[in-house]
């Protein structure tokens, strides 16, 4: 069981790390809101097709508001806050704030589900967060403004999404919970579809290709993998802490794709992140 959740959570952060690098190719072709709209619809359609093929039942009527809420919290509103925040702060600041999501997830899981970790677990969670600080601030600049509040809100929302998915997977399969949540997010973004269709007509071919990757893989399959990992893990923190790897993976992929040298910050910070994750699994 442990090996399975590690596989699913690692696949997720690997895909998300690539998405944070490739998304640059959509800049200038799509606005933040239309990009989120297209991603949510592509993701929802992808997973709903899987549900139809597997002949899985639709959500219970009483759960429809819940899936609308999870779609908003974990995708639509989260991505809007994410975009608003990164428009106002430096990339270094944004990555540090979003890296607080595992801490919020662990705290909320402790308060609501009584999921406890040992004191050493908190220590090594802090070690991984310190690795993030080193990685993104080695040559970065910390900025404080209203964008910090938007990104803090995004980090808290995604933490709440993690807990909601653990609750929903007690009653639905992971593929159902992911599909219905993304469908809820897509419905909420429907008013922005006309703007998307206007922009896609003038978008660069490379931006359209990346858009399909972001929608089908980084949103559809990755959210399914993430929900599957949450459903298999004993504690939310076991999965949430894997988010610390996303920035490290992004730095590696930026070097591989755009030939951006990662620098000593990525090397030292990445090593500390890996050490913290390894020790968390052993001592928490």
Share of the chain above pLDDT 70, in %: 87
Indicate the range of 21-30, 109-118, 175-184 predicted with least confidence. Answer: 109-118
pLDDT tens digit sequence for 35-89: 999 999 999 999 999 999 999 999 999 999 999 999 999 988 888 887 777 677 6
How many CB atoms lie under 10 A from the CB of residue 41?
21
Q: List CB contacts of 225: < 8 A, sequence separation 6 or more.
A: 8, 9, 11, 12, 15
pLDDT tens digit sequence for 163-220: 899 889 999 999 999 999 999 999 999 999 999 999 999 999 999 999 999 999 999 9
Which comes out higher in pLDDT, residue 115 or 169? 169
Look up the pTM and report it. Answer: 0.84
Residue 252 — very low, low, confident or very high, per pLDDT cuts 50/70/90?
confident
Domains in the chain: boundaries: 2-283
Query: Tokens 């990339």, residue?
Result: 91
Residue 265 — very low, low, confident or very high, per pLDDT cuts 50/70/90?
low
Q: How many CA atoms lie within 13 A of 30 on its CB side?
A: 29
Helix, coil or strand: residue 262: coil
């Amino acid at each position: 069981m442990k090996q399975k959740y590690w596989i699913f959570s690692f696949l997720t952060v690997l895909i998300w790390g690539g998405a944070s690098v490739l998304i640059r190719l959509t800049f200038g072709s799509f606005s933040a809101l239309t990009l989120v709209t297209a991603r949510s619809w592509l993701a929802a359609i992808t997973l709903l097709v899987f549900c139809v093929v597997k002949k899985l039942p639709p959500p219970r009527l009483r759960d429809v508001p819940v899936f609308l809420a999870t779609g908003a919290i974990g995708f639509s509103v989260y991505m809007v806050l994410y975009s608003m925040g990164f428009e106002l702060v430096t990339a270094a600041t944004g990555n540090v704030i979003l890296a607080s999501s595992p801490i919020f997830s662990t705290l909320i899981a402790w308060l609501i589900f009584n999921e406890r970790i040992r004191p050493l677990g908190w220590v090594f969670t802090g070690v991984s967060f310190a690795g993030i600080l080193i990685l993104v601030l080695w040559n970065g600049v910390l900025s404080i403004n209203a964008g910090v509040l938007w990104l803090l809100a995004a980090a808290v929302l995604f933490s709440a999404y993690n807990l909601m998915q653990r609750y929903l997977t007690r009653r639905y399969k992971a593929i159902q919970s992911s599909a219905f949540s993304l469908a809820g997010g897509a419905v909420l973004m429907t008013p922005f579809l006309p703007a998307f269709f206007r922009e896609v007509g003038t978008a660069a071919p490379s931006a359209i290709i990346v858009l399909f990757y972001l929608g089908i893989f980084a949103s559809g399959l990755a959210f399914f993998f993430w929900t599957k990992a949450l459903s298999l893990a004993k504690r939310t923190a076991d999965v949430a802490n894997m988010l610390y790897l996303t920035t490290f993976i992004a730095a590696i992929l930026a070097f591989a794709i755009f030939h951006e040298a990662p620098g000593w910050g990525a090397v030292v910070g990445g090593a500390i992140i890996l050490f913290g994750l390894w020790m968390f699994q052993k001592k928490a």
